Amino acid sequence: MSKKVFVLGAGFSMPAGAPSQAALLRKILQYNGNNYGNPVEQWIRELKEFLSSAFILDPEEMENICLEDIYTPIDKCISENSSFRGYSVEAIKKIQNQLNTLIAIVLDSSIINLDPKSDYNELFVSKLVSQKHEHPTTDKFSIISTNWDIILDNRFFRHLRGSSSVVDYGCQVAGIDSNDNIIPPLVAKTKGGYTIKFLKIHGSLNWLKCPNCQRIYVSKNEKIAIPEHTLEKKCRICERQAFAANGGINLSPHILMPTFLKSMSDVQFKLIWNQAAKEISEASNIVFIGYSFPQADFELRQLLARHVPNDCNIEVVLHSEDGSGPLPNSDLYWTSPEFRYKSFFGKRLKNVSYAGVEEYVNALRL
């Protein structure tokens, strides 16, 4: 049976306002939203001081450094318990936490409300849900997303509300509040519902993790990984253990940051990545949407190298805004996403379109 696997990159969410990874740092350095109060201004000031004194960058150069080049040395120093250019391990941990939070805040504040009539996310979700609704026992598609935003999650939850069908994140999740009514995928199937596989391989803004029991808590509406929601969130299951007397276990965001030292030892990420490997190995057609296929995503690239079947057709949907150029007639073609796809997949690459995600979703048939 045919199976389509969608692999979504930052370009998928860009028409909804989300910045590219390359633009994230610029947005953070220019951010002046006051919804979050003074700590945010203080964190941005400290980030600028850090980029100036540890990376020797002038203010006008700071926005151009890759996030990987900030995170990787920080992660390395933390793992070796070494200081970084005069910053103690404690100081760089603090900078790292603040940068994580700033990324979540800026990403969240960038999302715009699309007109429901032209909302391609809504159309995408409704097409997928309709397919499942008509053929609940089929397994004709799944989604692998590298994005943290919850634009699609919100729409899936809305469409599935009141039914016994659920989003299957590929890991074990529980509701952040006991009345959140998160039904595990296996239970959903026994109740006659269907599941929609949505594998967020870099984590999600609506996930928090308990460092004690390793559970992932999901909220159906809130971006609980953003601090204003995170404050005071404790593991409601570990609360029944002895250390609850010391204030309980604080939950923390479950997001993989852009670094060359990705820690894949986490049990829930292992489950998600194993499921992603399985989906890729069963695919007859993989559609990459808004994903520039960067070398920095070496974990995803090795997964694809190992599991994409010989006879699988690869399609790519890009847009000029997510860095589609330079095109084949240019001397710099070898730096383009198209070249990266072509050199990686060879004859399995069947089509590269520059029409963008909205046009693709409009024409999508399942």
Piece in contact with Zn ion (CB under 5 A), picked from 56-64, 70-78, 88-96, 202-210? 202-210
Nearer to Zn ion, 213 or 332 (CB): 213
Which position has the token pair 């700590």?
39
Joined together, the tokens standing for residue 202 give 């870099």
Query: Which phi and psi (to 5°) does residue 23 adopt?
Result: -90, -10
Q: Is 267 in the site for Zn ion (CB under 5 A)?
A: no
Q: If you ran DSSP here, which 8-state letter would residue 320 be given?
A: G
We find the least distance from the C-beta atom of residue 230 to Zn ion, in angstroms, to be 15
We find the least distance from the C-beta atom of residue 11 to Zn ion, in angstroms, to be 36
Which of 10, 92, 210, 289 touches Zn ion (CB under 5 A)? 210
We find the least distance from the C-beta atom of residue 245 to Zn ion, in angstroms, to be 15
- Which residue type, as a one-letter code, is found at position 297? D
- Alpha-carbon distance 276 to 142, whole Å? 9
Q: Is 366 in the site for Zn ion (CB under 5 A)?
A: no
Nearer to Zn ion, 41 or 180 (CB): 180
We find the least distance from the C-beta atom of residue 240 to Zn ion, in angstroms, to be 10
- Alpha-carbon distance 321 to 127, whole Å? 25
We find the least distance from the C-beta atom of residue 215 to Zn ion, in angstroms, to be 5
* Residues 6+ away with beta carbon under 8 Å from 126: 155, 159
Number of residues in contact with Zn ion under rule CB under 5 A:
5
Nearer to Zn ion, 126 or 212 (CB): 212
We find the least distance from the C-beta atom of residue 41 to Zn ion, in angstroms, to be 33
Q: Is 332 in the site for Zn ion (CB under 5 A)?
A: no
Of 246, 251, 263, 202, give the one whose Cα is nearest residue 226. 251
- Alpha-carbon distance 224 to 250, whole Å? 13
Strand order in 285-289's β-sheet? Answer: 166-168, 195-200, 141-145, 4-8, 285-289, 313-317, 349-353
Piece in contact with Zn ion (CB under 5 A), picked from 36-44, 198-206, 238-246, 273-281? 238-246
Q: Is 252 in the site for Zn ion (CB under 5 A)?
A: no
Piece in contact with Zn ion (CB under 5 A), picked from 43-51, 140-148, 212-220, 330-338? 212-220
Nearer to Zn ion, 197 or 229 (CB): 229
Q: Is 174 in the site for Zn ion (CB under 5 A)?
A: no
Of 244, 131, 259, give the one whose Cα is nearest residue 202. 259
26-58 in b/e form (b: 16+ CB < 10 A) is: ebbbebeeeebeeebeebbeebeebbeebeebe
- Alpha-carbon distance 236 to 251, whole Å? 10
We find the least distance from the C-beta atom of residue 210 to Zn ion, in angstroms, to be 3
We find the least distance from the C-beta atom of residue 151 to Zn ion, in angstroms, to be 28
Q: Is 65 in the site for Zn ion (CB under 5 A)?
A: no
Nearer to Zn ion, 210 or 316 (CB): 210
Which of 238, 272, 289, 304 touches Zn ion (CB under 5 A)? 238
- Alpha-carbon distance 198 to 130, whole Å? 16
Q: How many CA atoms lie within 13 A of 277 on its CB side?
A: 12
Binders of Zn ion among residues 217 to 236 (CB under 5 A) are 235
* Residues 6+ away with beta carbon under 8 Å from 35: 109
Nearer to Zn ion, 210 or 352 (CB): 210
Beta bridge partners of 352: 316
Q: Is 212 in the site for Zn ion (CB under 5 A)?
A: yes
* Residues engaged in binding Zn ion (CB under 5 A): 210, 212-213, 235, 238
